[in-house]
């Protein structure tokens, strides 16, 4: 299974590169690229449970935890 965020569900995306030579020619020599999510392994303390949870989260997921609280966010994402 691909690495994905425990909270937001973000994982890798496949996109295309675009070269500046394409503007001059009608040939696009570039291929596809795999863009990876900014995933970090974090230890998050949940005061309601009184324990620490290890989660693989993206930076957007960490901002969500900071905004809504660790317990509510992890419970909604079914990470605990």
pLDDT tens, position by position, 12-34:
998 877 766 666 666 666 677 89
User: What digits encode the pLDDT tens for the residues 46-57?
Assistant: 999 999 999 999
Where on the phi/psi map is residue 77: left (φ > 0), alpha (ψ -120 to 50), or beta? alpha
Q: Say if CB 12 and CB 32 are below 8 A apart.
A: no
For residue 19, the model assigns a pLDDT of 66
7 has pLDDT over 90:
yes
Query: What residues have CB less than 8 Å from 7, skipping those under 6 apart?
Result: 55, 57, 58, 61, 64, 65, 73, 74, 77, 79
Distance from C-alpha of 22 to C-alpha of 33, rounded to nearest angstrom: 17
CATH of the domain spanning 13-76: 2.30.170
């Amino acid at each position: 299974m691909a690495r994905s965020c425990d909270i937001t569900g973000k994982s890798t995306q496949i996109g295309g590169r675009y070269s500046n030579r394409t503007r001059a020619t009608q040939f696009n020599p570039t291929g596809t690229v795999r863009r990876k999510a900014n995933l970090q392994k974090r230890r998050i303390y949940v005061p309601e449970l009184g324990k620490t949870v290890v989660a693989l989260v993206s930076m957007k997921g960490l901002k969500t935890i900071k905004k809504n609280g660790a317990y509510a966010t992890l419970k909604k994402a079914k990470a605990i």
